[in-house]
Amino acid sequence: MQPWTVEITRGALTESSHLGHGAVVDAQGQPHLIFGDSTRNTFPRSAMKWIQGLELVMSGAADAFAMTDAELALACASHNGEPEHVSAVTAVLKRLGLDADDLECGISLPFTDAVRLKLSYERQTATQLHHCCSGKHVGMLAVCQHLGFPIAGYTEYDHPLQVRIRNHISDIFSVDAHSLPFEADGCSVPTYAMPLDLMAHGFARLAAEHCTGPMNQAAKRLRLAQASAPFMVAGTDRLDTALLEAGQGRLQVKMGAEGVYCGALADRELGFALKCEDGSLRGQEALVIALLDAIGEHEILARLPDKFRNLRITTARGAVVGEISVRRD
């Protein structure tokens, strides 16, 4: 199959382009849409956070520490590091009796330029709390505290928490996750490479509740938490937040670094995974919009703000001089 091409025009000229590969697969493993190389081995990166968060619910830690839907959504987030995100991570850490130094995500500037500039203007120093993955990490710490696992080293491949996560990956994707290629993600947690079509099938199975009972219940609880608190999953001016809002509980979706998007439509028992070949954020965002359009999710797309649906190239004075579009042939 031919890859899709994201084209960036200026006037009549195609100025730049990005290639995309992807798959939409149902819970029975039947492909509904394939473009490019759907067998491409790909690190899902942060697109896997829904699955990495399952143990937070399955272990009982979420209830033990009285975590709200907003906090559960944050555990699945790549957030902007806005004050609401930082405050929520801080609040959970306090309930755990831990502090920011226990977060092994490292220190990173906030996700978006606007939040970075605000932090600088206010003369604040970025900490682990501002890292886009701090919500996932505080969720992992909650599991460790609840189950009595070691706090230090919870991001290591052989830590019992990471072993449990691999076991969940094995169940969901019908693979031996312990034999998958892996490497540390940007936040130090292991990420495991799989073919795109396999990822799509696993997301479909999880959304359709075709896994084990406790896992299905945990996945549904996390999915609905994200839908009810979409700001916590990303933040201001972020496509993930806009898509979750527009999906109105039907759509599970999450971006990952280096051009990845994964998601599912629970009521249609469909999962999807895509990769923008050059890792471009603008490329991956255009591709996920085009994918949802191609499978007929026009109502969801109609509820998106115009800036996410009609991608224009403008001058600094606001004049429209081109567009971003996806060629599917």
* Torsion angles phi and psi, residue 253, rounded to 5: -150, 145
In angstroms, rounded to a whole number, what is the distance separating the alpha carbons of residues 119 and 310? 30
| Pairwise CA distance, residues 197 & 51, whole Å | 17
Structure token digits, residue 242 = 């806009």
Sign of CA dihedral 63, 67, 72, 77: negative
Q: Tell me the residue type at 17.
A: S
DSSP label at residue 129: G
Q: What is the total count of domains within the chain?
A: 1
- Give the pair of three-digit tokens for residue 20: 């995309």
- Walk along the chain (329 residues) and give the pLDDT tens digit of each residue: 899 999 999 999 999 999 999 999 999 999 999 999 999 999 999 999 999 999 999 999 999 999 999 999 999 999 999 999 999 999 999 999 999 999 999 998 777 888 888 887 788 888 999 999 999 999 999 999 999 999 999 999 999 999 999 999 999 999 999 999 999 999 999 999 999 999 999 999 999 999 999 999 999 999 999 999 999 999 999 999 999 999 999 999 999 999 999 999 999 999 999 999 999 999 999 999 999 999 999 999 999 999 999 899 999 999 999 999 999 98
Structural domain boundaries, residue 119 = 4-327
β-strands 270-276, 260-265 pairing: antiparallel
Beta bridge partners of 326: 6
Phi then psi dihedrals of residue 303, to 5 deg = -85, -10
Q: In CATH, what number is assigned to the domain containing residue 27? A: 3.40.710
SS3 199: helix
